[in-house]
Amino acid sequence: MVKEHFDPAELETEELLPPEKTPEDAHRADTIGDPEGSEERDKQVAIVLPDFFYRRYRLDDMGNPTYNSSIVDAIMEVFDAKYNTEQAFGGDTKEEEYFNTQIDQVVTGFSQLLEVDPQTTGINALQLTTRTWAEFASVAYEYKDSISTIAEDKEIPDWLIDREGKMVQLGRKARMLTAFLAKMDDKFGLKNTEVQRSRIQQEVERRLQRLAEWNYNQHADKSGAVSSKSITNETASVMFDNA
């Protein structure tokens, strides 16, 4: 007699469980990928910064402010061009005499510190000279870069005139310290008192890092999108060449 109905209960069944190992043909590419990294990258999208920020700084892959390597290279080009150049006096012999007198005064002052641990005194003097050259090269670059953004028919703003004065004085100070080190070279007990380019670059990077963080904290708006960077290259002023 043929059964009119099929009863699944009459079949031998077993519980359906996932396999202990996934077969190779079942693997698929992870389209979500790194959820934590994605979350961090999404944070960048919510940050708005003024265009001037991107002239000298950038955001790293985690959205943190940092220096722009191309700006570091540009500042180091300024250092290369300015280092070992003579202080300009414009034919003013009295100013030149005063400059040399100041160098001798610095030598005399540091000489009083050599009785105990002259090496440390020499290292401190070398560090001061290194930081001064890094500051001078940085300010000179910033001055030249800022001048390039001002139309020829526009007056130079007061803040940039102040920056011009600081650039000139830093150049004078850097050359004074270099001359002072040359005169004290054999008094500190150090193998070498010459400024090292690599240490200048380290100071430039540290300075830019501090400025990047400060400007980020001052100007970051985390409610919008990151604006694109805009870098302008034009001619700089004569003051830069004479600094």
pLDDT, tens only, 58-104:
999 888 999 999 999 999 999 999 999 999 998 899 999 999 999 99
Instruction: Evaluate if pTM is beyond 0.85.
Output: no
Q: What is the pLDDT of residue 48?
A: 85
**Residue 13 domain-assigned?**
no
**Residue 176 domain-assigned?**
yes
| β-strands 65-67, 57-59 pairing | antiparallel
Which residue, among 166, 202, 200, has the nearest Cα to 84 in the 3D structure? 200
**Residue 44 domain-assigned?**
no
**Residue 106 domain-assigned?**
yes
Burial of 23 (0-12, 13-18, 19+ CB in 10 A): exposed
**Residue 53 domain-assigned?**
no
Measured CA to CA in angstroms, residue 75 lies from 72, 80, 140 at distances of 5, 9, 8
**Residue 41 domain-assigned?**
no
Full residue range of the structural domain in which residue 189 is found: 65-222+233-242
pLDDT in tens, 162-196: 999 999 999 999 999 999 999 998 899 988 888 99
Which residue, among 102, 101, 129, has the nearest Cα to 188 in the 3D structure? 129
Q: What is the pLDDT of residue 6?
A: 44
**Residue 135 domain-assigned?**
yes
**Domain count across the chain:** 1
**Residue 52 domain-assigned?**
no
